[in-house]
Amino acid sequence: MLNQLTISELMAKLAKREVSAREATQACLDQIARVDGKIHAFISYNAADALAQADAADKLISSGAKNSLLGVPIAIKDVLAVKNQPLNCASKILGNFTSTYDATAIEKLKAAGAIIFGRLNMDEFAMGSSTENSAFGLTRNPWDVTRIPGGSSGGSAAAVAADECIASLGTDTGGSIRQPAALCGCVGLKPTYGRISRYGLVAFASSLDQIGPFTKDVRDSAILLGVMSGVDPRDSTSVPEPVPNYANALDGKIRGMKLGLPKEYMIGGLDAEVKAAVDAAVKQYEKLGAEIVEISLPHTDYAVATYYIIATAEASANLARFDGIRYGARVEGNDPIELYSKTRGAGFGAEVKRRIILGTYVLSSGYHDAYYLHAQKVRTLIRNDFLKAFEKVDAIVTPTTPTAAFKAGEKSGDPLQMYLSDIFTISCNLAGIPGISLPCGFTKNPKLPIGLQLLGQPFGEESLLKLAHAYEQATPWHREKAGL
């Protein structure tokens, strides 16, 4: 079925004219019609617009155009601006807002010929780990619909795992690409901070946010990273680092590469099946010729606390703009203060409010130095731990999550438990380094995907992708399908 193809498989078929972009897009739309009632990965999509884009791509293909993603249907997390499409961040507060411009990442995908369609569900403003914080209802895990798909990019992961699109985009502030990719059995990449422009991404925590791809294999991840990367004058935090041809790095030559195993990551709450799968993956790497080195990241214990100070502080500032005046929904009041309070009171969900309150608190005078300033210092220590480790190793290997997908409702009443599910992913954002999650096995009963995380040096995506690809090609996991 065409909707099950990877980007590189579909591109090969399109180039040989074995299939058309319209057929591929229609296959995705048919799959959505068949399964999205169970999964609810999409908040909305416009089938007519997607098919019109596909027809335009087919015309270009027949005129000989060779753009690198020409005719590939890609679905988008509801936090990225796509011109003339709705943008809600899975919140009520944006009302019926429509984007007036394209995010840079979207502009680049469009220039490469991709068909940009659909708004994928997420935790409101990307705050969460289960997609239960959406104002548009739950997304369910395609492997077991009683379970969550992870979050905050749960819709992006579920849509790829359910073959409702060829690939998708998500964003990762503390794990929101890697964690749902792990729980849904796809490949999720968080690039180095500054690798992809954040222009047109609605900010949650600006010093941590990155855009990245969800794909069915590592090669597709390399392809999308290459298209979206690069410096952008509209994002002053994007970095003028040259963009390599990432797919060229996928040569299987990992003999002699050094992989670090952090001793701090073998924590008590680590599920036995997850641990066994990661141990087996490490053995596989040894078989492939990599050298395993024990390393230490001594400040790991402070990562979750540090993250929840910095991320909430930045969120409280970033979300101040949603006031009922500038965008979206408004609840009228007798004066501006009443209007702001009523709009924000009605528009934001409970988790977003919790974060704004926490963030305002840690920035308030008298507490700023005790919390925010302190957290910034610990953040530097965490980054230094990684930089020190990378003097000895090419990449670090860990589980992506402590457990496989949990049941819907299981952690939603306990924010601390929810926050702890990000224990392995959060440090990477604090350090600004790249990370990838790829399938490394399944739990037995029920059968649920397990994710392996690889963390790399700043702008070390080539090594990460090379290592991920070598493992993927030696193992069967990425070929398994959720039986929907």
Q: Is 269 exposed, middle or buried (0-12, 13-18, 19+ CB in 10 A)?
A: exposed
Q: Is the CB of 113 or the CB of 402 nearer to ligand GLN?
A: 402
Token pair for 460? 């070390």
Cα end-to-end span (Å), the chain: 14
Report how far residue 191's alpha carbon sits from residue 178's, in angstroms, rounded to the nearest whole number.
11
- Provide the minimum distance between the beta carbon of 174 and ligand GLN in the complex, in angstroms, as a whole number: 3
Binding span for ligand GLN by CB under 6 A among 172-180, 297-305, 439-447, 470-478: 172-180
Binder among 154, 174, 230, 328 for ligand GLN (CB under 6 A): 174
Report how far residue 407's alpha carbon sits from residue 413's, in angstroms, rounded to the nearest whole number.
12
Binder among 20, 85, 88, 176 for ligand GLN (CB under 6 A): 176
Q: Compute CA 115 distance to the chain's CA centroid, rounded to the nearest angstrom.
A: 19
Q: Which entry of 20, 91, 134, 152 is annotated as an active-site residue?
A: 152
Q: Is the CB of 28 or the CB of 358 nearer to ligand GLN?
A: 358
Please choose, from the candidates 89, 132, 24, the residue with its C-alpha nearest in 3D space to the C-alpha of residue 321: 89
Binding residues with ligand GLN: total (CB under 6 A): 13
Binding span for ligand GLN by CB under 6 A among 110-118, 168-176, 287-295, 402-410: 168-176
Residues with Cβ within 8 Å of residue 446, at least 6 apart in sequence: 143, 144
Q: Is 354 exposed, middle or buried (0-12, 13-18, 19+ CB in 10 A)?
A: middle
For the question of residue 176 being annotated catalytic, the response is yes
- Provide the minimum distance between the beta carbon of 125 and ligand GLN in the complex, in angstroms, as a whole number: 8
Binding span for ligand GLN by CB under 6 A among 69-77, 156-164, 173-181, 227-235: 173-181
* Binding positions for ligand GLN, 63-122, rule CB under 6 A: none
* Binding positions for ligand GLN, 280-339, rule CB under 6 A: 311
- 37, 47, 416 from 32: Cα distances, Å: 8, 10, 34
**Segment (H or E) for 376:** helix 374-389
Report how far residue 218's alpha carbon sits from residue 474's, in angstroms, rounded to the nearest whole number.
12
Q: Is the CB of 176 or the CB of 215 nearer to ligand GLN?
A: 176
* Binding positions for ligand GLN, 191-220, rule CB under 6 A: 204
Does 127 bind ligand GLN (CB under 6 A)? Our answer is yes
* Binding positions for ligand GLN, 20-39, rule CB under 6 A: none
Reported residue count of the chain is 484
> Does residue 20 contact residue 54 with C-beta atoms inside 8 Å?
yes
Residues with Cβ within 8 Å of residue 303, at least 6 apart in sequence: 382, 423, 426, 427, 430
For the question of residue 258 being annotated catalytic, the response is no
Binder among 58, 163, 164, 172 for ligand GLN (CB under 6 A): 172
Q: Is 132 exposed, middle or buried (0-12, 13-18, 19+ CB in 10 A)?
A: buried
Binder among 173, 210, 238, 306 for ligand GLN (CB under 6 A): 173
Token pair for 234? 């509209």
Token pair for 160? 């790829």
For the question of residue 342 being annotated catalytic, the response is no
Contacts with ligand GLN, 138-167, as mask; x by CB under 6 A: --------------x---------------
The three-state secondary structure class of 41 is coil
Q: Is the CB of 173 or the CB of 221 nearer to ligand GLN?
A: 173
> Does residue 48 contact residue 26 with C-beta atoms inside 8 Å?
no
Does 135 bind ligand GLN (CB under 6 A)? Our answer is no
Q: Which entry of 20, 91, 176, 197 is annotated as an active-site residue?
A: 176
Binding span for ligand GLN by CB under 6 A among 169-177, 215-223, 273-281, 290-298: 169-177
The crossing angle, in degrees rounded to 10, of helices 218-228 and 104-111 is 110
Q: Is the CB of 116 or the CB of 183 nearer to ligand GLN?
A: 183
Binding span for ligand GLN by CB under 6 A among 28-36, 126-134, 159-167, 191-199: 126-134
- Provide the minimum distance between the beta carbon of 129 and ligand GLN in the complex, in angstroms, as a whole number: 4
Enter the DSSP assignment of 390.
T
Binding span for ligand GLN by CB under 6 A among 65-73, 123-131, 356-364, 436-444: 123-131
Which residue lies nearest ligand GLN, judged by its C-beta? 176
Q: Is the CB of 180 or the CB of 230 nearer to ligand GLN?
A: 180
Please choose, from the candidates 27, 142, 15, the residue with its C-alpha nearest in 3D space to the C-alpha of residue 446: 142
Interface ranges with ligand GLN (CB under 6 A) = 126-129, 152, 172-176, 204, 311, 422
Q: Which residue numbers are catalytic?
A: 77, 152, 176
